[in-house]
């Protein structure tokens, strides 16, 4: 097995699992809830609320015309996915956290890309709040991207510190 195949197998497994879980949960929400319907899971803290977000994180560019928004997000996502694949191919051995982080970001980006291609917007349904503090609704793909980015930042900060201590 080549070094690239050794990297791509776990990368593809994690990214594929994220895409599958993301699409399965979104299908369940679409089949179970009416648009804008909200069901409490933990009253006063967490609801399942079916929404569609035409923008990106925090509804970024949501008010732009679809003729701009859709191609913009498709191109940006395609470029990001390509960059991630190039980074994974060039990633040296011994970077499992970086590989895991990139697979989470990749899987999340593909999950949201599928929604954008199918409907021109992303299904969001995880609704977290406390009293008057309300986090924008999100989905499994968004969660994977966020966790992946936190892992990448942590690996960059703490991995370099650990490397400096060893030398």
CA–CA distance, 40 with 20 (Å, rounded to integer)? 24
Q: Which of 22, 115, 127, 142 is catalytic?
A: 142
Q: Which of 22, 115, 124, 127 is catalytic?
A: 124
Nearest to 15 by CA among 89, 95, 84, 94: 84
Active-site annotation holds for 124? yes
3-state secondary structure of 128: strand
The backbone torsions φ and ψ at residue 33, rounded to the nearest 5 degrees and listed phi first, read -115, 150
| Beta carbons of 46 and 27 less than 8 angstroms apart | no
Q: What length is written for the chain? A: 167
Catalytic residues: 124, 142
């Amino acid at each position: 097995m080549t070094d690239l195949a050794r990297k791509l197998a776990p990368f593809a497994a994690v990214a594929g699992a994220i895409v599958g879980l993301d699409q399965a949960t979104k299908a369940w929400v679409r089949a179970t809830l009416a648009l804008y319907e909200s069901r409490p899971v933990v009253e006063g803290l967490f609801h399942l609320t079916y929404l569609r977000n035409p923008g990106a994180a925090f509804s970024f560019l949501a008010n732009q015309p679809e003729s701009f928004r859709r191609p913009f997000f498709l191109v940006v996502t395609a470029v990001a996915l390509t960059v991630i694949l190039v980074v994974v191919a060039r990633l040296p051995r011994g970077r499992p956290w970086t590989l895991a982080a990139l697979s989470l970001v990749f899987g999340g980006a593909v999950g949201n890309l599928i929604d954008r291609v199918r409907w021109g917007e992303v299904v969001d349904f995880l609704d977290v709040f406390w009293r008057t503090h309300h986090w924008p609704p999100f989905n499994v793909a968004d969660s994977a991207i966020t966790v992946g980015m936190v892992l990448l930042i942590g690996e960059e900060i703490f991995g370099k510190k650990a490397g400096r201590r060893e030398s």
